[in-house]
Amino acid sequence: MVSKHYGESWCQKHLADQWLFQLQEKVDADLTEKARSKGCLLCGGRLHRSDYGRKSRGGPQWDVRFSLCCAREGCRRRHTPPSVRFMGRRVYAGLVVVLVSAMVHGLKPERVRMLRETLGIDRRTVERWRQWWLGVFPESSFWREARARFMPPLCLKTMPLSLCESFEVERRDRLLDLLKFLAPITTPTAWKELVM
Ligand SMILES: [Zn+2]
């Protein structure tokens, strides 16, 4: 049985952790470098950095999404690598979406409301996230492949709290691991399948 205050302290700690935000930026830079070294997936051309403006709400103040562009004339295809900061087209940082959505299952509604208001998140937004985690995410091809690594199977009714518990995200490095685990779904291409 999960306590009704479960996770409140680590949730708030992570959401104010400047060091964590810096680590996330570094991980994103590494993911971008890794994608760049592979070259253009379409024509094999060289990729160069072509970042674009993207603001994150709800915690960390990021304003650039790292991205790449094929340098070859006639291709110029954009390749936006996975991210541990941005989640598809969501305006809130990925970690805000994960942690606040988890708290919907970990806290009493009153505490969730306080958390929401502190971060300036609309009630309907959190409700949409909840439906996404319970409906869209478990049906995604990403999850259908990834779920096998969780033994015993995770409780789908308390997603993403069950995911957070499994990764033991009280620790900063474990939260980062969870965000890395989710990174493949954050690219514009992968995200298309995950839009509600
Ligand atoms: Zn190309």
Q: What is the pLDDT of residues 7-31, one digit of tens each?
A: 888 999 999 999 999 999 999 999 9
Q: Give residue 76 CA to ligand 1 midpoint distance, Å.
A: 6
Q: What is the pTM of this model?
A: 0.94
Q: Give residue 146 CA to ligand 1 midpoint distance, Å.
A: 29
Confidence of residue 3 (pLDDT cuts 50, 70, 90): low
What is the predicted pLDDT for the residue at 118?
92
Q: Give residue 45 CA to ligand 1 midpoint distance, Å.
A: 5
Q: Give residue 39 CA to ligand 1 midpoint distance, Å.
A: 8
Q: Give residue 67 CA to ligand 1 midpoint distance, Å.
A: 14
Q: Give residue 80 CA to ligand 1 midpoint distance, Å.
A: 13
User: Region 186-192: what's the mean pLDDT?
Assistant: 93
User: Region 151-170: what's the mean pLDDT?
Assistant: 95
Report whether 75 contacts 43 (CB < 8 A): yes
What is the predicted pLDDT for the residue at 5?
67
Q: Give residue 32 CA to ligand 1 midpoint distance, Å.
A: 16
Q: Give residue 48 CA to ligand 1 midpoint distance, Å.
A: 11
**Residue 190 to residues 87, 137, 184: CA-CA distances in angstroms?**
10, 12, 7
> Does the pLDDT at position 4 exceed 60?
no
Report the share of the chain in percent with pLDDT over 90: 86
What is the predicted pLDDT for the residue at 1?
43
User: Region 53-59: what's the mean pLDDT?
Assistant: 88
Mean pLDDT of the chain: 94
Q: Which of 99, 146, 147, 150 shows the shortest CA–CA distance to 126?
A: 99
Report the share of the chain in percent with pLDDT over 70: 97
Q: Give residue 69 CA to ligand 1 midpoint distance, Å.
A: 8
User: Region 19-48: what's the mean pLDDT?
Assistant: 97
Instruction: Write out pLDDT tens, residues 63-105.
Output: 999 999 999 999 999 999 999 999 988 999 999 999 999 999 9
Q: Give residue 79 CA to ligand 1 midpoint distance, Å.
A: 9
Report whether 136 contacts 143 (CB < 8 A): no
> Does the pLDDT at position 2 exceed 60?
no
Q: Give residue 73 CA to ligand 1 midpoint distance, Å.
A: 8
What is the predicted pLDDT for the residue at 9?
86
Q: Give residue 31 CA to ligand 1 midpoint distance, Å.
A: 19
